[in-house]
Amino acid sequence: MKLAFRLLSVVAVLIAAASVTFFAQLMVPGDRATTILNLQNGREQEWTASELGPVNEKFGFDNPLVVQYLHYVGGLFRGDLGTSYTQYQSVNSVIGAQIVPSLVLTASALVVAWALAIGVTLLTVKRGRFVTGLGSGWETFAASLPTYWVGVVLLVVLAVKVPIFPVIGGSGAWGTVLPVLTLAIPLAGFLGQVTRDEFDKVLDQPFVTTARTRGMGDTAVRLRHGLRHAVLPGITLSGWALGALVSGAVIAENIYGRPGIGQVLVTAVNTRDVPTVSGIVLVVAGVYVVANVLVDISYAVVDPRLRSHSRLATA
Amino acid sequence: MSIVDDRNDTDGAVAVTAATAATAAPAEPGAAGAAPPPVPLLHVEGLRVSFAGTEVVKGISFTAYAGRCLAIVGESGSGKSVTARTVVGLTGAGSEVSVDRLELGDRDLSGLGERQWRRIRGKEVGFVLQDALVSLDQLRKVGHEVAEPLAVHGVGDRRARAAKAIELLESVGVPEPEVRAAQRPYELSGGLRQRALIASAIALDPPLVIADEPTTALDVTVGAQVLDLLAASKSRGTSIILISHDLAVVARLADDVAVMKGGEIVEHGPVEDILRNPQHAYTKALLDAVPSEHTRGTHLVRPADGEEKTVRSRRPVDRGRPLIEARHLVKAFRGPDGKDREVVRDVSFEVFSGETLGIVGESGSGKTTTARIALALTPPTSGEVLLRGEPWSALGLRQRRPARSRIGVVYQDPLSSFDPRWSVDRILADALSRGPRPPANATEARRRSLELLEQVGLGHGHLTSAPLRLSGGQRQRVAIARALAPEPELIVCDEPVSALDVSVQAQVLDLLTDLQDELGVTYLFISHDLGVIHHMCDRILVMKDGEVVESGGADEVFDRPRHPYTQQLLTALPRLEVAR
């Protein structure tokens, strides 16, 4: 029941996103066929009906709006995102080639951010004024860094001045390190702040005192009792973070000249290739939705109290 | 484990209800001829603890004996919990501890390092905290929690520990221990959780168990079972240090009592001496403050100069037409499985002007829902409430609004019913404006607010305070003043003193009875505490699972309970009966 409702809401969100992008295409000023011909020929001019005819037919612009809409949404159900204005190929193949490196980048960034956040909080929560201050200071600093700035600084320091990493990364493992750090450092600061807050509260809880009265050492108390409680709010935020990472990836990919959906998006926006932009928006929305379902599942894995209420959590 | 009901104790002076196991211990150290002298286990001498320069424990000394229970009694802030934690080296961050002598058996504990302390904790000293819901890790299985001391001290392998956990759960009377071990604490009832917590504390069979308010969060019958469990452990030779604010609980388990106040032990001795013949004024006041059948009709707080307690001057109760009348109330809520569950079943009662009707029951008995229906905050599924013979619960929201001020309410936790940004004068002015005589201007509002504050024993200085900065007792006084402001005929008191220390509770109860005597207010008084109910109420309803199982005059119900549930409640009640 709950699961069915959840899946329905996922579909509803995606259809809503698709509808918004579809109507956004109509809002772009000017006749679409004219825009396409202008784009392909690289100049601004009026086109004759005989020149516009084939384009209108190819893209289905001469059909009634309802038919166009149903055709578009119907295509989405078959996994067809439409046809690019500029490249004369399907948006699927434009995005498809680039989506994998982007997903690798964002997923790695999330993992690295969590590792950094947990490592720092475990070591610095409630460790006396100096160490604690150091930890929370680092988090505030990291969380306030803009992605583009981190990217440029890392590039200059670790690729140009001290050439450990390649300047133009490509999608290889070595070239992925700097883009991942660029995305992970600000996020780690943010997740760290949330986790530290909760960790701090958890370590004052009576069950932690109980564990200490059993003779448990400080490190064991943190790992076995504190950590699991402390990561819960951070997990909730991870769904949002993953969405934010996809947009951050656009910046990182551009700085490091890394193939990915970000490059495609920038090009498409510059050339006003609306179907490609829409396709990317939809894919990002999809990633967002899937990420949030994953968050729900992992939340229930960590906190069994939620399992009785959600059948999603049988994982 | 049987519970001995010795309420008919012929001694008359003190009747201590206790489990069989508890009475088996010697009455006084070395007193009984046949029993061997008790073996001292924990020696504490000259213990001082301070936090940031403020001394909270001021050089106390005590001894705990094997097979006996030492109770450390005191109110919040007396230093009793800090003392307990210091005995296991967990005083807390920023504390300074100095002690002349701290010995467990023949081992010197003073000046131990953290690593050495860890070998003591769990193995030599077991520790039971107050509320198992928060004292057990909710995300871990009960079995793992119970067996954790074994894991920490490297006893047995994983399989052996799992088996031992089930064995321990069984030994503390948890039914279906295999099932429970695989569940998580929140899936267990309060009593089972507390048992699991105790099972964990005794996993390594430590010679000393410290229990810090082990029954405070529990219903009466469940609390009694937990006390029996500790008594059984004591009879096997374990030394128990019981930390409590509740003298009745202490009477049930302890052999020796140390009364703490302001970081000092003001009185120390065998339990009978302390309860029967208290020497220190504070101990006397504590004993006086415990509400019971003996305190009915008198004040709980003795006047500063008086030897005798003052008697109430009751106004006559008008037994004509009832002030409020509940007829066959039923309330059903839809459960998570989609089925309706009746939490109030066919409840009828009447409250007459000037009297106090008590509703007593354990958690989940439906007493609070009944109160909410009487307040017309929750509509009944069927049945009806009449106010002075007129429809009340059946009125529409708009029709009821002008009459709202006729019923006031005082909750357990006033802080959560105050807007934290409002000061006391704003709270009272707001309440006054809802009454039949709203103040004409700010000056009148202020004058009448001040009158109200004086009526509840507060003064000018509290007018501009924020509730957050008041003490628990002062907050409850403000809550009472707010309830009085619109001049209600009835005040519903829902557990009004349950969150207060015993001496503050006594003051608030005295205030409520005084207001009744002066103003003739009527109370619908809800509590789980039978002593408070007996002290306060003229007539009583006993609720269980949404039904009224027994009703009648307070003395009638308490002295001659007819329903088995009432009898069970009264048997389980740890009581303190001091003849006056």
Q: What is the mean pLDDT of residues B546-560?
A: 93
Can you tell me the distance from the alpha carbon of B567 to that of B580, in angstroms, rounded to the nearest whole number? Answer: 25
Lowest mean per-residue pLDDT among A165-174, B130-139, B242-251, B349-358: A165-174
Q: What is the mean pLDDT of residues B121-129?
A: 93
A125 and A241 fall within a common domain? yes
CB contact under 8 A, A303 and B149: no
CA-atom Rg of chain B in angstroms: 25
Phi, psi of B7 (to 5 degrees): -70, -20
For chain B, give percent helix, strand, coil, nearest 5.
Answer: 35, 25, 40
Produce one character per residue of B422-443: b if its CB has 16 or more CB atoms within 10 Å, e if not: ebbbbbbbebbeebeeebeeee
Between B109 and A33, the more confident residue is B109
**Closest to A288 measured CA to CA, from A3, A93, A14, A8:** A14
pLDDT, residue B335, reads: 67
pLDDT, residue B230, reads: 93
pLDDT, residue B313, reads: 84
Residue B29 — pLDDT band, cuts 50, 70, 90? very low
Q: How many CB atoms lie within 10 A of CB A206?
A: 17
pLDDT, residue B579, reads: 39
Q: Which of A67, A91, A115 represents a domain boundary (last residue)?
A: A91
Residues 6+ apart with CB under 8 A from B448: B428, B432, B439, B485
Lowest mean per-residue pLDDT among A143-147, B113-117, B314-318: B314-318
From chain A, the residues in CB contact with B186 under 8 A are 305
Domain housing A256:
93-314
pLDDT > 90? residue B43: yes
Q: Which of A91, A114, A148 represents a domain boundary (last residue)?
A: A91
A10 and A143 fall within a common domain? no
Q: What is the mean pLDDT of residues B117-138?
A: 90
Q: Which residue of B has its CA nearest to A232?
A: B139
Q: Is B299 helix (H, G, I), strand (E, B) or coil?
A: coil
Q: Quick one: CA dihedral B522, B528, B532, B538, positive or negative? A: positive
Query: What are the pLDDT digits (tens) for B247-300?
Result: 888 988 999 999 999 999 999 999 999 988 999 999 988 888 888 888 888 888
Phi, psi of B63 (to 5 degrees): -135, 135
A21 and A141 fall within a common domain? no
Query: What are the pLDDT digits (tens) for B220-248?
Result: 888 888 899 999 999 999 999 999 988 88
Q: Which DSSP symbol is given to B387?
A: E
Picking from B136, B139, B152, the nearest residue to A215 by CB comes out as B152
Between A308 and A203, the more confident residue is A203
Q: What is the mean pLDDT of residues B326-355?
A: 88
Q: Is A65 helix (H, G, I), strand (E, B) or coil?
A: helix
CA of B128, closest CA in chain A: separation in Å?
A: 8
pLDDT, residue B16, reads: 39
pLDDT > 60? residue B32: no
pLDDT > 60? residue B10: no
CB contact under 8 A, B200 and A214: yes
A272 and A133 fall within a common domain? yes
pLDDT, residue B506, reads: 92
Q: Of chain B residues 370-399, which have a CB less than 8 A from chain A?
A: none
pLDDT > 70? residue A296: yes
Lowest mean per-residue pLDDT among A24-28, A185-189, A237-241, B481-485: A24-28
pLDDT > 50? residue A121: yes
CB contact under 8 A, B118 and A215: yes
A163 and A129 fall within a common domain? yes
Q: Which residue of B has its CA nearest to A226?
A: B137
Please give the mean pLDDT across all residues of chain B. Answer: 87
Burial class of residue B181, CB neighbours in 10 A (0-12, 13-18, 19+): buried
Can you tell me the distance from the alpha carbon of A121 to that of B107, in angstroms, rounded to the nearest whole number? Answer: 37
pLDDT, residue A312, reads: 36
Residue B179 — pLDDT band, cuts 50, 70, 90? very high
Picking from B121, B129, B186, the nearest residue to A305 by CB comes out as B186
Picking from B130, B134, B152, the nearest residue to A214 by CB comes out as B152
Query: What are the pLDDT digits (tens) for B378-431?
Result: 999 999 999 999 999 888 888 888 888 899 999 988 788 888 889 999 999 999
Q: Is B90 on the interface with A (CB under 8 A)?
A: yes
**Closest to A246 measured CA to CA, from A128, A63, A116, A98:** A98
Q: Is B186 on the interface with A (CB under 8 A)?
A: yes
Lowest mean per-residue pLDDT among A66-80, A219-233, B153-167: A66-80
Q: How many domains does chain A have?
A: 2
Q: Would you list which residues of chain A are within 8 Å, Cβ to Cβ, of chain B?
A: 126, 205-207, 209-217, 220, 225, 228-229, 302-305
A107 and A11 fall within a common domain? no
Picking from B136, B137, B149, the nearest residue to A215 by CB comes out as B149
Q: Of chain B residues 46-85, which have a CB less than 8 A from chain A?
A: 85
Q: What is the mean pLDDT of residues B58-70?
A: 95
Domain CATH number, residue A163? 1.10.3720.10
Residue type, position B265, single letter: I
CA of B545, closest CA in chain A: separation in Å?
A: 25
pLDDT > 70? residue B209: yes
A109 and A73 fall within a common domain? no
Q: Is B87 on the interface with A (CB under 8 A)?
A: no
Residue B578 — pLDDT band, cuts 50, 70, 90? low
A75 and A115 fall within a common domain? no
Q: What is the mean pLDDT of residues B124-146?
A: 90
Q: Which of A55, A76, A91 represents a domain boundary (last residue)?
A: A91
Give me the percent of chain B exceeding a pLDDT of 70: 92
Q: Is B197 on the interface with A (CB under 8 A)?
A: yes
From chain A, the residues in CB contact with B123 under 8 A are 215
pLDDT > 80? residue A27: no
From chain A, the residues in CB contact with B127 under 8 A are 210, 213-214
Angle of the A274-302 helix axis to the A227-255 helix axis, nearest 10: 160
- Copy the structure tokens of residue A151: 């990217």
Residue A315 — pLDDT band, cuts 50, 70, 90? very low
pLDDT, residue A108, reads: 93
A194 and A225 fall within a common domain? yes
pLDDT > 90? residue B70: yes
A99 and A141 fall within a common domain? yes
Lowest mean per-residue pLDDT among B35-39, B261-265, B562-566: B35-39
Residue A100 — pLDDT band, cuts 50, 70, 90? confident
Residue A92 — pLDDT band, cuts 50, 70, 90? confident
Lowest mean per-residue pLDDT among A61-70, A266-275, B120-129: A266-275
CA-atom Rg of chain A in angstroms: 24
Q: What is the mean pLDDT of residues B456-472?
A: 88
CA of A217, closest CA in chain B: separation in Å?
A: 7
Residue type, position B108, single letter: D
CB contact under 8 A, B148 and A304: no
A18 and A167 fall within a common domain? no
CB contact under 8 A, B139 and A229: yes
Alpha helix (H) ranges present in chain A?
2-27, 32-41, 49-59, 65-77, 91-124, 128-143, 147-155, 173-202, 206-213, 218-220, 227-255, 261-270, 274-302
pLDDT > 50? residue B27: no
Q: What is the mean pLDDT of residues A274-301?
A: 84
From chain A, the residues in CB contact with B131 under 8 A are 206
Q: Which residue of B has its CA nearest to A225?
A: B137
CB contact under 8 A, B152 and A220: yes
Can you tell me the distance from the alpha carbon of A37 to that of A46, in angstroms, rounded to the nearest whole number? Answer: 10
Residue B576 — pLDDT band, cuts 50, 70, 90? low
CB contact under 8 A, A212 and B121: yes
Residues 6+ apart with CB under 8 A from A131: A123, A124
User: Under CATH, which number does the domain B324-419+487-578 receive?
Assistant: 3.40.50.300
CB contact under 8 A, A304 and B125: no
Point out which residues pair with B267 in neighbouring strands: B259
- Mutation target for A interface from B148, B187, B216: give the one with most A CBs within 10 A: B148
A107 and A97 fall within a common domain? yes
Domain ranges of chain B: 131-205, 324-419+487-578
Residue B468 — pLDDT band, cuts 50, 70, 90? confident
CB contact under 8 A, A206 and B186: no
Q: Is B448 on the interface with A (CB under 8 A)?
A: no
- Mutation target for A interface from B129, B136, B137, B141: give the one with most A CBs within 10 A: B137
CB contact under 8 A, B139 and A228: yes
From chain A, the residues in CB contact with B126 under 8 A are 213
Residues 6+ apart with CB under 8 A from A240: none
CB contact under 8 A, B139 and A302: yes
CA of A241, closest CA in chain B: separation in Å?
A: 25
pLDDT, residue B41, reads: 95
Q: What is the mean pLDDT of residues B140-158?
A: 93
Can you tell me the distance from the alpha carbon of B425 to that of B232, in angstroms, rounded to the nearest whole number? Answer: 53
Q: Is B534 helix (H, G, I), strand (E, B) or coil?
A: helix
- Tell me how many residue pairs between chain A and chain B have CB atoms under 8 A apart: 72
Q: Is B260 helix (H, G, I), strand (E, B) or coil?
A: strand
From chain B, the residues in CB contact with A228 under 8 A are 139
Q: Which residue of B has its CA nearest to A229?
A: B139
Residue B6 — pLDDT band, cuts 50, 70, 90? very low
CA of B451, closest CA in chain A: separation in Å?
A: 42
Contact A22, A278 (CB under 8 A): yes
Residue B569 — pLDDT band, cuts 50, 70, 90? confident
